[in-house]
Amino acid sequence: MSKLEQDQKAAPTVNGNAATPQVNGSLPHKPPKIPSTQPTEAMAQDKAAWGGFCEIESDPAFFNVMLREFGISGIRVQEVYSRNYEDFFEMAQPVHGLIFLFRYHEDPDENQENDCPKHIWFANQTQEQLCATLAMLNILNNVPGADLGPHLQSFKEFTQDFTPALKGDAVCNFQFMKTIHNSFARKIDMLDTDLRLKNKYDGAKSSKTPNKRRKFPKADDADEFYEPGMHYIALVPIGGQVWKLDGMDRQPSMVDMYTGTEIEWLKVALNDIEKRIAQYQDSVYEFGLLAVTHDPTVDYQERLVLNIKKLNTVHARLDGYGDGWSMLESDEDRNLMRSTITGAAAPLYDITREMIDEAAIDDDFLSKLDTASPEDMLKMRLDLAKSQEVFRRDLQEALDSTRSDQERADQHRFDYGPLLTTWLRMLAEQEDVLEEIVNDVKG
């Protein structure tokens, strides 16, 4: 039994309740209670007032949650485990761009354009820790016909004619985007970023050559004590060409041209990535690769909605024959229809009655239905019900993936640091408690 437990057992009682012990004839200060909301509220205030950007981990779940909160629809991010060109055929098409994570070094300036082409949206990285979101923005704003949502669409149009440097400044001051980006920040991340920036400032201030600007050492710099930071760049197909959009470069770099189908650009992009990796063949650096692809969730949902609308239409035609048509149903029909959705399914599949009513059935299906007998209609209904099993499974898997992404992001966003700091501070305020805990752990 610890000293604290002995003291509690020996404490005097009043009417069966533990009495407050006195110290030198006076009541001691009551230990502070752990605040229930203060740490979270303090973090929200800190993030809103913070001028920096946090580092984003190379986790597609975080990028997907950011995309949804940006208001973007029909686009998702997924991790690439193989750099074989053929494996990309298994992804949802089209693949809009690649985000490559690597240990940074500068590319030769001669690879860059003299000026940013008018048809390319490209922003410079003007603040640290912004490269992940910036790489994604440099892809999204170059996807033809992308549903960017009202906030990002307005931002793209507003900055379209800006120079890359001005676009970069505009990104840093885009509060809507910054709030979502920094929602992944933890207190320790913010303090670490501020300290690193202060050290860089102090180092530049004391430098003998303050006017010399170097972002990172070049690939041939022989500094065994220097380890370059991780950096994200984007590779994007634009107008029959593959472009490298690196926020640390002054201008975009055209990698090469490509011909053929939409997916052919990946051969050029993957070849460029392999060349970059080969530069580190004697090192143990890790690399990451993410693909920005079409999100099939909306397609799956629309497909299921149309299936439900067609089933309802067939039912309505069958009901026109009276109750006799049900005698034609087989056991397979009845068993399958018990699990078939014929109405709104908002809780499971985010499908509302309005979505079903607004769905448009193709003329070929209606023409076939006009000439169908009751037996033919039952066959059509059976085929629709069987197809729906596949549609429901595909949509359910996509929605489960979305929910899983949100759970991972929520877990990362919750900062236990303030809570642990408060708890440790309270323990430190109690005499000998921390010492007893340490001794108990040591055994």
Tens digit of pLDDT at every position of the chain (443 positions): 544 455 445 444 444 444 444 444 444 445 555 455 455 555 777 788 888 888 898 999 999 999 999 999 999 999 999 999 999 999 999 999 999 998 887 777 777 888 999 999 999 999 888 999 999 999 999 999 999 999 999 999 999 999 999 999 999 999 999 999 999 988 888 888 888 878 877 777 776 555 444 444 444 444 444 456 889 999 999 999 999 999 999 999 999 999 988 899 999 999 999 998 888 776 666 789 999 999 999 999 999 999 999 999 998 888 887 766 777 777 777 788 888 888 877 678 889 999 999 999 999 999 999 999 988 998 999 999 999 999 999 999 999 999 999 999 999 888 887 778 787 778 777 767 777 777 887 76
How is 340-359 classified by DSSP, letter by letter?
---S-BHHHH-B-HHHHHH-
| Structure confidence at residue 119 (pLDDT) | 95
- From first CA to last CA, the distance across the chain in angstroms is 13
Residue with tokens 């610890």: 2
Residue 380: which H helix or E strand, with range?
A: helix 374-413
| Structure confidence at residue 206 (pLDDT) | 74
Q: Rounded to an integer, what distance in angstroms lies between the CA atom of residue 326 and that of residue 324?
A: 5
| Structure confidence at residue 314 (pLDDT) | 92
How is 248-297 classified by DSSP, letter by letter?
TSSS-EEEEE--SSGGGHHHHHHHHHHHHHHTTTTS----EEEEEEE-TH
| Structure confidence at residue 269 (pLDDT) | 96
Residue 228 tokens, joined: 């370059």
Q: Rounded to an integer, what distance in angstroms lies between the CA atom of residue 81 and that of residue 97?
A: 15
φ and ψ at residue 331, rounded to 5 degrees: -65, -35
Count CB-CB contacts under 10 A for residue 433: 16
